[in-house]
Amino acid sequence: MNPEDFQIVELGDPRLRAIAKPVELTQLSSALEQAAVMQHWMEHRGGVGIAAPQIGVPLQLMIIASRPNNRYPNAPHMAPLLMINPEPVSFSDNEVTLWEGCLSVPGIRGKVTRPESVCVRFVDRAGVTQEQVLTGFPARIFLHEYDHLIGKTFVDRVASVQDLTTDKVYFEQIANA
């Protein structure tokens, strides 16, 4: 599968609003090929996560890969984690409001309130069901990417349009405040 045959799907494209279908585990090798394309685009665009609908593939696949980069200079480092058919099992009661951006909504950030931690069940790249608790920024990445699997974007989660800003203003005024 050639990554150049795919592009990042952007806000307004109806594929971002579709509900992703579960991956048939008999098709695991195909899902792993699609995950490689997703990882290419995530790294190429400086993302810390990506979901299959963001490359126009309506499957329940996501990668979370927190790491410091130009878009998220203070992100903690974790190895990329592919999650197949992920589902949140439980959430912490504590919620945190932070700025989010998205490869599918270029140039815009929004304040989003999300649970501080989430317990997640998913199938790994070997086809084994796993359960893991994610906390802090990795939890936020998971919840952001999970939204893509249910037809939502972070823009749907902002409380007010006043909680939106451009990346330029964010980096000039907000990130350093």
Binding region: 102, 144, 148
How many Cβ atoms sit within 10 Å of the Cβ of residue 73? 9
* Rounded-to-integer distance, Cα 6 and Cα 35, Å: 12
Annotated binding-site residues for Fe cation read: 102, 144, 148
User: Is 87 among the residues known to form the active site?
Assistant: no
- Three-state secondary structure call for residue 20: coil
Catalytic residue among 4, 43, 145, 172: 145
Going through 75-128 in order, the beta strands assigned E by DSSP cover 81-91, 95-102, 105-115, 117-123
What is the edge-to-edge ordering of all strands in the sheet holding 164-166?
A: 95-102, 105-115, 164-166
Give one DSSP letter per residue of 59-78, joined into a string.
BSEEEE-----SS-TTPPP-
Write the CB contacts of 95 (distance below 8 Å, at least 6 apart in sequence): 113, 114, 115, 116
Give me the residues paired with residue 175 across strands: none
Catalytic positions: 145
